Structure 1
């Protein structure tokens, strides 16, 4: 079917924003909040209508996802469902997370990114960039082979890196079943505390891995002396 114009006032605002991104901005291009508001001056909450597109697999990055962007800039990364087509603009059940649900998820996940462990507002190592935590949806392959979408708390960096990943719960459970009893108990204690303590050599190994080649050579010499 022919794509309607983004100026078609008979369409809902979210659909028109999707068309505007497609027809005016273009995939991969930048646009500002000002440009969006000037295109839809009659809509007071146009930012929210744009965010609604993310529930239909549209990717629109802000400086939370892409630190190279300015505070008022967005990047139209990829187009999702053609929401202007009949039957495709219906909101997915459970797609929107309320403030109360977000608070519950934050409490459940300990107010930390479940992927890297960083807390809200903490700086990433070696940078001046502060983390921002939010609700992410991760695809999980269940033991029966089915795939489910489950929520977790992640930082802005890990959400970007994990968007296309599928966690394999069945594989994890099979590997746990194959562990010797002492390793299973050790893993169970880490899971119970939701934390793992590292020995001094393990911490030093992690630090060593971050060193440049010349510095790694100095470590080798120190160990061999």
Structure 2
């Protein structure tokens, strides 16, 4: 089936943008906001209509999801719903509003819930600083149903956790199986929303990040004396 022309002014901007991505940019290729402006001269908020395609299953990455991209670059990764077809592309927007974003960041403590890094903080061993974003996480509920919930994550964890599901029922079941001392300890961590790690635990975490050559040296130091 032949696709409509992306230059057809009778189509809405979002539909034209989708067709432009498919027929001009191509999956896997990079484009910029300037490219969008040149393709749709005189069309206000054409770049927003491109972003709207994400609500219809289109994957369009920025440097938040793909560190290889420049600040003004985007990559058309994968086509979603063919919004130009009759009856498609008209569902209500599921974009996260600025109010929702502020609320999620506030309740999540303004740090990444996956790794604990704060916005603007450098990742260990790099000059790259973290940016916080809002991720959608599918959570399996105790009754077996699934619900999409919002959580604050940094740009790294958001990419690594894309498509990740969380099993709340399994977490609650594991808590029910804890002894009284372990349950009390966990309750204190949850109440404080943080946990202080011991020196040994921090050393273990550092060891896990070392290259194999360095791990060998650590194992030699820890090995029991011969004889």
Q: Distance in 1 between matches of 2:105 and 2:142?
A: 27
Taking structure 1 as the reference length, the TM-score comes to 0.93
Q: Distance in 1 between matches of 2:77 and 2:92?
A: 21
Task: Count the aligned residue pairs.
Answer: 224
Q: Distance in 1 between matches of 2:128 and 2:179?
A: 42
Q: Distance in 1 between matches of 2:157 and 2:140?
A: 19
- Which residue of 2 is the match for residue 156 of structure 1? 155
Q: Aligned pair 1:21/2:27, yes or no?
A: no
- Which residue of 1 is the match for residue 40 of structure 2? 40
- Which residue of 2 is the match for residue 122 of structure 1? 121
Q: Distance in 1 between matches of 2:131 and 2:151?
A: 14
- Tell me the CA shift for residue 42 of structure 1: 2.0
1:1-225 mapped onto 2 (5 Å cutoff): 2-92=2-92, 95-223=94-222, 224=224
Report the aligned-residue RMSD: 1.6
- Tell me the CA shift for residue 44 of structure 1: 2.4
- Tell me the CA shift for residue 64 of structure 1: 1.9
Taking structure 2 as the reference length, the TM-score comes to 0.92
- Tell me the CA shift for residue 222 of structure 1: 2.7
Cα deviation per residue 1:36-86 (whole Å; 9 max; x = unaligned)? 111111212111111111111211111122111112211101111222222
Cα deviation per residue 1:125-177 (whole Å; 9 max; x = unaligned)? 12221111111111111122211111111111111111211111111111111
- Tell me the CA shift for residue 87 of structure 1: 2.5
SS of 2:74's equivalent in the other structure is strand
Q: Distance in 1 between matches of 2:80 and 2:37?
A: 22
Q: Distance in 1 between matches of 2:116 and 2:16?
A: 39
Unaligned runs of 5+ in 2: none
- Residues 139 and 92 (structure 1 numbering): CA distance in 2 closer, same or farther, change over 3 Å? farther
Q: Distance in 2 between matches of 1:88 and 1:215?
A: 55
- Tell me the CA shift for residue 90 of structure 1: 2.0
Cα deviation per residue 1:197-219 (whole Å; 9 max; x = unaligned)? 11111111111122223322332
Q: Distance in 2 between matches of 1:33 and 1:213?
A: 43
- Tell me the CA shift for residue 183 of structure 1: 1.3
- Tell me the CA shift for residue 2 of structure 1: 4.8
SS of 2:175's equivalent in the other structure is helix
